[in-house]
Each structure stands twice: as structure tokens, then as C-alpha cells.
Chain A
Amino acid sequence: MSNPLESEQKTNPQGDPITSAAPIKVGGGTKDPHEGAKKQRIVTPEYMFSEAPRKREFITGSEAAKEAVRRSNVDFSVAYPITPQSETMQLIGVLYGEGYVKEYYRGEEEYGVMSAIAGGSRAGVRCFTATAGPGTLRGIEPIASWPGHRLPAVAMFTCRVVNAPLAIQPDNIEVAYLLHCGMIVFHAENQQDLFDFIMKGFIISEKNDVTLPVGVACDGFFVTHARSYVDMQEKDIKLPPREAWKGAVPVLDAENPPARLSRDAPVQKSNFMAYNIHAVWQQEVWAAVERSRRYIEQYMGGLCTAENVEGAEAVIIASGSACAQSREAIRLCKDQKVNVGLIKIRSLRPFPIKELRQLCAKAKLIVIPEFNYVGWLAKDVAAAIYGYSNAKIVAGPHVYGGMSMPVEMIVDEVIGGLTGKKSITVPDSAIMGRDVSQAEVAHFMQNI
């Protein structure tokens, strides 16, 4: 007898099957729901990332995250709903039902979720969670202590508005808060990046000389809810499991002598002893962030990518969805016979300082479009290349609160920057760098 809930496969307007809305099968079947998970075999990260054949599918970012977790041998995941993340963590729940994730529950709120992830990671198992905007800030106290406790895990941030008035729209200002936690932070441009960065994040996070959490940010809705082509390995392979004994700091399983951090009151109450206990520990956290560079290069092919930068009249530096808009802006500039290059930042922490100094050495104009008000990327770029480049830096365009970023805004900044004509369509843009007037500097300071 056919199950009434099992309706025919739905398709989207392009005719591709909609997988996220797959009906839940209720009873009747004799098939082991964990069959697929049990058949998965372990492959090396190198095989998984570089050699395993891939198949192209047209899926949303949430589905890409689900497929990444399916292949990542995840033990423990805690979910809490918030737009635009909710679909991701409910899909991880589907994986739990299918046995691909071993333990999963819906937490009380993000503080509890991030604390439980800390507990799971301390137990030595591989942990994943995701949140967005206000959820990120609600969980920021435990998140900011993960690196200090040297807890490997992967957290996904599907960025949205924080602050008031309340909005659920895309805006990546929360990344500014994450940048100073001591965790590794990647920014995914699209669904493919999200898929790859999550899987690679687990491996980088668990390297002995790293032993840090990895945050994978993407711009909410643009990536989570939109569909794109993602090249994925077969479902029947997965990454090797986390090896609890491998971390730089012992896990708390009563099988190893615990780390001093968890034992010594002085570390917890600095007036008992020298303050440098905290200081040296934090130095080591940030040194571990630095040491992750070689693994990011090894598995992700670099902290940033450069396209057409050599000899370009202007360079756009962007991360996340702003990269996608920038590519189109570059095409429009080409139509106007203006040659523009693109540097896409994949890793925000560690930040590609050396790479940018080299790539921007001869640049005359740098334009940095961002989906937030404060311009955190422009500040990092300016700090990184200060003294190494004479480029004029245009911090903008900035859109926020859910605005889309019309590519014409980016074009306007590029042309305006080259001709010296002040942009009229983008009031929030700001200029810093060489040969700028004090008035322009003041304008920049006011705006970012």
C-alpha cells in the first residue's frame, strides 16, 4: 500500500527536484533508517577533498550544510531555531534520524546550546551547531571562551541583522564580534564554499597545533535559502572520526591528566597569582590561529584568491556574498573598458595579511563592498596593507538591514574612485589611504 504522505517528487521552476521538502516517511517500511549511515566508509581528508569524484546538485545553502555534515562524521549537534538558520539545524535533525549524526537535541536557547557544544567538545567528540544574528550574540560569551578552552568544533553563522529595530534580513555585522574571539573564521561566498568550508573546518579545527573552533559564516538568505550548483562527493564516504587524544589540551574524559586550565584556581581568579597566566594562554590561542594558516593553504588552497589583479586599474576586495556581486560589477566595468581585479577573502581569521600586502603593492584603487554598516573588512584591509601600499581605499558601498547590493553601486565606487568624482548614489562610501583630503578622512571616520 502506498503511503499517503509519500507524494510525488516536487520540483522547482527549473525542474530540479526539491529535496528539502522530502516528505517524512511514517511506519510501514522494514528498511533500517540507519542503513545509509552504517554503510559509510571512512576516507582520508586528502581523498575526500581532492580526489573523490563529485556530482553536481542544485541545492540551497542549508542543504549544502546538511550534506557537508553528512560526510563529516559528526558525533554531537545541538539545535535552536532562528531565522535564517532554522532549516539548517532541522536538516541536521534529519541526519540524526538517519544515523549520520550520533547525538542531537533541541537546546533551550543559544547560551545553553553553545555551552553544550563546549561540553561535547570537552568530552572528545566532534560537534557542530549553527545560529544567526541575535543567536550569535546571545551565545557569544560561551563562543568567545571556546578558543581559550581549546575546543575544536565547527559553528556555522548564517548572518542576519542584530540590534534594533528587529529585522530578520541579511547583514553580516555579527562577524565583527566573531573576529576577536580567537576562533578561526571563514566567510563563504556561496553554497559550494559553505559545503567545502564546513568539512575542511573540522579537519583544520582538530589539528594538534591548532585545536581551535572554526566559525563558518555566510550571508543569510542569499546563501542559506537560495539554490546553486554544488559539487559533492558520494554520500557513502565520510571523514575520519575525531581522535580525542590528539588535541593540544587533553579532553576531560578522566582518561588523561586534565589540563592545568581546568584545575588551577589562579587561572580563574587572577588576583591569586600573576596576571600573565591569562596573557600567555591568550597569546598561545592567537599563535594557534596563526599556525592554522598552513592547513588553510593545504586544504583550501589559500586564505584568499586573486582574479585578474595584476595590471588592473582597480581592485575589489570582498568576502561572502559581496564577492558574487563584485564579479558582476567587474563585468560591467569591463563593458566600460575599465579593468578591475578581485581579491576574495576566504579566511577572516587568520587574515591574509602577507597575501594582501603582496597583491596590493601596486594597486592604485581598492574598493571594499560590504553587507554591514561598520565596514569591518575595510578596517582589516587598511590595517593589513598600511605602509605596504599607496592605494586609495574606498570603504563601500555598504548595505545593511537587508538591503540588496545593486552591482551598479560597486561600479559607481570604482569609477568614482578612478575619476575622483564623488559618488552620488552611494552616500555611505568613505575614502581612506593616500592623497585624500582631511575632509574625506573625517567623512571616512564618521562613516566606518
Chain B
Amino acid sequence: MSLDYVKFSPGFDKFMPKEYRDMVEHGPFGKKTTVSQMGSFKEILEEHPMCAGCAMTLFIRLAMISFPNPEDTITVGTAGCGRLAISQAAIPFVYGNYGDQNAVASGLSRGLKLRFGDIPKDVVVMAGDGGMADIGFSMTLHSWFRKERFTTIMLDNEVYGNTGGQESGMTNKGQVLKMAPLGKKFEKMDMIGMAKLAGCAYVATVVPNNPRRVESVIKKAVLIAREIGPTYIQAYTSCNIEYSIPTDKVLEDAKSVETDRYAFSEYVSDEAKEYLATRYGFKEYLPKPAAALPKA
């Protein structure tokens, strides 16, 4: 990125709002920040219009802190609650049409590759379960089958939150919601299984109550998508409004849902493991030293 664009033209700095000055002076651009430093720097996303106690917002904040290269990251989304926060962040965000996010990201990432070659320009899709598994399903799956090199993150609140609580394909069977007056009649869609089937190089499920884990999966997914292939993260980001979760119990709910049915899972293709190890020094994927191997 031309980091210049976040800097002030000489003489203008004193006229800039404090928000902006904080972003330039204490923001994460050009630095390596981690979730453990939260509170000590200006985040890409702070102010937003989301509901009190929204777990999705916490996840989006954590994800944005975790972007390995925030100054060269472009997010793509669609209709839903998530975009109301994502669009408030200090990095470019594309809001196109309903469910088009993975198709837009296909064109965007290929176009940026043409213009910038090997200089990383990370494209990250962040959209809800309805946008991704229902209306954008075909474009999501096809982008994976085509092995498009960008990251797809599903903000899975298991409901259409923004339109007021309707059943989505990711809602659990039996759940009573608007448009499912007798309870949902079919199972939650297995997008994790489909991501693997379609050839994603990295697939993970995560909940937001473990910031370091969120950071780890986001970093891996974005780095792998640069050169290896599509990556998919499915994050449980509850809707405390539609599911009537008391504000102070949101993280407790996440914990119990994680234990119950949203356990952390991570699939990394062999190629992606080797790439992370050799290119970015991920120790967990380095070949085991000879001494550690069992003797023949």
C-alpha cells in the first residue's frame, strides 16, 4: 500500500478529527499487532452501530486485528448485520449486491493480481450465513471450485439477523424462527464439508471467545489464500437479539455452543502446511527433526 494515504498532508494534521489522528499515530498500519495488545493501539474497527452484546462485532474486531497485512487488505461483503460494522472499519470494503461477494472477490483478486503481481493484496470476504449459504451459495461454491485465491469468512449467527430473525440454511433443525413457524424442517447445512469437497486449502470452525485462536486461524487463512488456494473460516457469531441471549451471557453461550456442537476444527492441506512452514516459519508445520522420528 501507499501508506501515504493514511498520513496527513503537511499543515493539515491539526484540522483532522481526533479519530483520524489516532489512526495515523496509533493505528496498526505498517506494524505487527496482536490480539493480546488490544487496548494499547487504535483498532481498524472501533465505533460501529451494532447491538449491545453482539458477538459478531467482537469476532470482526478480532479478525481485523489479525489480518497479517491490514494496510493491503480489502474486505468484501453483502447485506446483513456484519457489513454495518465492516463498512465502518478503516480499510476498504466492497458492498455490491445480494450474495455476490465471492464473485466480486474473484474479479477483484484477479484484477489486483494483474496490477500488483506478487505484492500481496489480501482479499477477505466476510458475510453472513444467509448471504453465503443461501443467496450466494452458487457463487461461494464456484469460487472454491475455481480455486480463487482469497479468504471466505462466514459470520454464522444461524439466522437472518438484519431483516429481523428469519430462518437461514445454517439454522439448526427444529429451531422456531420467522418463516419457520413450525420449526426448521431440515438440518444445518454442512458448509465445512462442502468447503473441503470443493478443494479449500484451509477450513476452520471457530468461536469468538478465544481471541488467540481467532487470530491464529485468520492469519493462516489469509496467508494460505495468497498463493495456495481458497480458504474458509466458519465462525459462530451468535445473534443475542433473535436468540434472546442476555447481553452478559453472550460469551458464556459461545462457550457452551462450542462445547456442544461448534467445536474448534481445522483442516490444512499438505501443500498449505508446507507453504506456511517454509514461507512463514510456522513451527507446527515444519518437518520433524530426524531425532524425533521413530528409529527404523
A residues contacting B by CB (< 8 A) are: 75-76, 78, 102-103, 105, 107-109, 111-113, 115-125, 127, 141-142, 145, 149, 244, 252-258, 262-265, 268-269, 272
Are B111 and A254 in touch, CB under 8 angstroms? no
Are A264 and B87 in touch, CB under 8 angstroms? yes
B57 at interface by CB-CB < 8 Å: no
Q: How far is the CB of A425 from chain B (nearest CB, A)?
A: 45
Give the docked Cα–Cα distance between A145 and B113 (Å). 24
**Chain B residues, CB < 8 A from A123:** 107-112, 114-115
10 A-B pairs besides A76-B107, A120-B107, A253-B116 with CB distance below 8 A are A76-B111, A103-B113, A108-B142, A115-B103, A119-B107, A121-B111, A123-B109, A149-B96, A252-B74, A265-B88
Are B104 and A76 in touch, CB under 8 angstroms? no
Are B5 and A257 in touch, CB under 8 angstroms? yes
Give the docked Cα–Cα distance between A120 and B106 (Å). 8
Are A258 and B103 in touch, CB under 8 angstroms? no
Q: How far is the CB of B89 from chain A (nearest CB, A)?
A: 8
Are B104 and A262 in touch, CB under 8 angstroms? no
B111's partner among A108, A120, A262 (CB-CB below 8 A) is A120
Are A265 and B112 in touch, CB under 8 angstroms? no
A-contact bits for B99-136, CB 8 A (1 contact / 0 none): 01001111111111111100001000000000000000
Are A102 and B114 in touch, CB under 8 angstroms? yes
**Chain B residues, CB < 8 A from A103:** 110-111, 113-114
Give the docked Cα–Cα distance between A308 and B98 (Å). 49
Are B72 and A254 in touch, CB under 8 angstroms? yes
Give the docked Cα–Cα distance between A123 and B142 (Å). 20
Are B111 and A119 in touch, CB under 8 angstroms? yes
Give the docked Cα–Cα distance between A124 and B115 (Å). 8
Which residue of chain A lies nearest to B76 when distances are taken between CB atoms in the complex?
A: A119
Are A268 and B87 in touch, CB under 8 angstroms? yes
**Chain B residues, CB < 8 A from A118:** 96, 100, 104, 107
B257 at interface by CB-CB < 8 Å: no
Which residue of chain A lies nearest to B105 when distances are taken between CB atoms in the complex?
A: A119
Q: How far is the CB of B109 from chain A (nearest CB, A)?
A: 8
Give the docked Cα–Cα distance between A141 and B103 (Å). 13
Give the docked Cα–Cα distance between A142 and B71 (Å). 28
**Chain A residues, CB < 8 A from B98:** 141
Q: How far is the CB of B4 from chain A (nearest CB, A)?
A: 9
Q: Which of B6, B49, B92, B121 is most buried by chain A, counting CB atoms within 10 A of its CB?
A: B92
Are B100 and A78 in touch, CB under 8 angstroms? no
Are A108 and B93 in touch, CB under 8 angstroms? no
If A149-B96, A264-B87 touch, whether A119 touches B108 (CB-CB below 8 Å) is yes
Give the docked Cα–Cα distance between A123 and B109 (Å). 8
Which residue of chain A lies nearest to B162 when distances are taken between CB atoms in the complex?
A: A269
**Chain B residues, CB < 8 A from A76:** 107, 110-111, 114
Are B106 and A119 in touch, CB under 8 angstroms? yes
Which residue of chain B lies nearest to A272 when distances are taken between CB atoms in the complex?
A: B49
Are B114 and A265 in touch, CB under 8 angstroms? no
**Chain B residues, CB < 8 A from A112:** 100, 103, 106, 138-139, 142
Give the docked Cα–Cα distance between A105 and B149 (Å). 14
Give the docked Cα–Cα distance between A78 and B139 (Å). 14
**Chain A residues, CB < 8 A from B111:** 75-76, 103, 119-125, 127
A-contact bits for B73-104, CB 8 A (1 contact / 0 none): 11010000001100110011111111010011
Task: Tally inter-chain residue pairs, CB-CB below 8 A.
Answer: 140
The 7 sampled A-B contact pairs (Cβ below 8 Å) are A75-B114, A112-B138, A112-B139, A119-B103, A125-B114, A127-B111, A254-B91
Are B100 and A111 in touch, CB under 8 angstroms? yes
If A123-B114, A252-B74 touch, whether A117 touches B97 (CB-CB below 8 Å) is no
Are B142 and A265 in touch, CB under 8 angstroms? no
**Chain B residues, CB < 8 A from A125:** 111, 114-115
Give the docked Cα–Cα distance between A107 and B107 (Å). 10
Which residue of chain A lies nearest to B101 when distances are taken between CB atoms in the complex?
A: A115
Are A254 and B97 in touch, CB under 8 angstroms? no
Are B110 and A115 in touch, CB under 8 angstroms? no
B52 at interface by CB-CB < 8 Å: no
B146 at interface by CB-CB < 8 Å: yes
If A118-B104, A254-B91, A268-B87 touch, whether A111 touches B139 (CB-CB below 8 Å) is yes
Q: How far is the CB of A163 from chain B (nearest CB, A)?
A: 23
B286 at interface by CB-CB < 8 Å: no
Are B103 and A108 in touch, CB under 8 angstroms? yes
Are A122 and B110 in touch, CB under 8 angstroms? no
Give the docked Cα–Cα distance between A423 and B121 (Å). 64
If A108-B103, A112-B139, A118-B96 touch, whether A253 touches B112 (CB-CB below 8 Å) is yes
Give the docked Cα–Cα distance between A430 and B151 (Å). 56
**Chain A residues, CB < 8 A from B87:** 262-265, 268
**Chain B residues, CB < 8 A from A108:** 103, 138-139, 142
**Chain B residues, CB < 8 A from A264:** 87
Give the docked Cα–Cα distance between A60 and B35 (Å). 60
Give the docked Cα–Cα distance between A409 and B139 (Å). 46
B1 at interface by CB-CB < 8 Å: yes
Are B1 and A255 in touch, CB under 8 angstroms? yes
**Chain A residues, CB < 8 A from B108:** 119-120, 122-123, 252
Which residue of chain A lies nearest to B98 when distances are taken between CB atoms in the complex?
A: A141
Which residue of chain A lies nearest to B93 when distances are taken between CB atoms in the complex?
A: A262
Q: Which of A107, A127, A253, A256 is most buried by chain B, counting CB atoms within 10 A of its CB?
A: A253
Q: How far is the CB of B271 from chain A (nearest CB, A)?
A: 22
Give the docked Cα–Cα distance between A196 and B107 (Å). 26
Q: Which of A76, A119, A121, A123 is most buried by chain B, counting CB atoms within 10 A of its CB?
A: A119
**Chain B residues, CB < 8 A from A244:** 115
Give the docked Cα–Cα distance between A274 and B3 (Å). 33
Are B91 and A115 in touch, CB under 8 angstroms? no
Give the docked Cα–Cα distance between A121 and B103 (Å). 13
Are B103 and A107 in touch, CB under 8 angstroms? yes
**Chain A residues, CB < 8 A from B73:** 254
**Chain A residues, CB < 8 A from B106:** 112, 116, 119
Give the docked Cα–Cα distance between A121 and B110 (Å). 11
**Chain A residues, CB < 8 A from B83:** 265, 268
**Chain A residues, CB < 8 A from B139:** 108, 111-112, 115
Are A265 and B2 in touch, CB under 8 angstroms? no
